Chain A
Amino acid sequence: EAGVAQSPRYKIIEKRQSVAFWCNPISGHATLYWYQQILGQGPKLLIQFQNNGVVDDSQLPKDRFSAERLKGVDSTLKIQPAKLEDSAVYLCASSFFVGQETQYFGPGTRLLVL
């Protein structure tokens, strides 16, 4: 079974630029999560989707971050414009359904904002 795929693996941009990350969850997984992990900290949930609907986006900085999962499969997370403090690893995870405790994580995208 293929795991959660993310791209790109690394991205370096200058502040005020835009960036987008892509995630393809495990086939058949209805729930998809985006996390931000700052160096030395645990992951922080940004947004949770159930199919193509948003379950929780309370910690998503909506003035600059946006995410979509139009067809209920893959997802994109966008930052526009980026700030220095957005430098982090962005992790995508999926689970079979909401209420299932096991999340499967992708390898993450490492973003450096200069």
Chain B
Amino acid sequence: TQLLEQSPQFLSIQEGENLTVYCNSSSVFSSLQWYRQEPGEGPVLLVTVVTGGEVKKLKRLTFQFGDARKDSSLHITAAQPGDTGLYLCGRSGGYQKVTFGTGTKLQVIP
């Protein structure tokens, strides 16, 4: 099992602030995904990154895959209360073992 470590574990910020969360592994991934899970719901896929060094943007969210494909980051600009949730990185699908990270719980205070 490829262990995925996420940091920080918890983050509480004021509306309008910027933040970055990280996902790290000792192993190389062919691809990596980011999910957001709101309370009482299942995770929802935000993005999949495949190429080392790849950067993808989704409105105020910027996702980066490390050059060595062992780490990834998610940066949120001008956070809003609607961004509150549990952010999970993971590799899923295919015949490879499905693995999720430990998660970062984000709270954005109005």
Contact = CB atoms under 8 A, between A and B. Distances in A.
Interface of A: 4, 31, 33, 40-45, 48, 55-56, 58, 91, 93, 95, 98-108
Contacts of B102: 41-42
A67 B102 CA distance: 25
A107 B97 contact: no
Contact of A101 (B4, B33, B40, B95): B33
- Is chain A's interface secondary structure helix, strand, loop, or mixed overall? loop
B62 interface: no
A106 B93 CA distance: 16
B94 A105 contact: no
B85 to A, nearest CB: 13
Nearest to A89: B42
Interface stretch (B13-21, B43-51, B53-61, B67-75): B43-51
- Is chain B's interface secondary structure helix, strand, loop, or mixed overall? loop
A101 to B, nearest CB: 4
A93 B102 CA distance: 18
Nearest to A103: B92
26 contacts: A40-B103, A41-B102, A42-B100, A42-B101, A42-B103, A43-B100, A44-B100, A45-B97, A45-B98, A48-B98, A55-B95, A56-B97, A95-B93, A98-B93, A98-B95, A99-B93, A99-B95, A100-B93, A101-B31, A101-B48, A102-B48, A103-B93, A105-B41, A108-B40, A108-B41, A108-B42
Contact of B42 (A4, A48, A100, A101): A4
A105 B92 contact: no
A91 B44 CA distance: 12
Nearest to A106: B42
Given A43-B100, A105-B44, A98 B88 contact: no
A42 B44 contact: no
B97 A105 contact: no
A58 B1 CA distance: 11
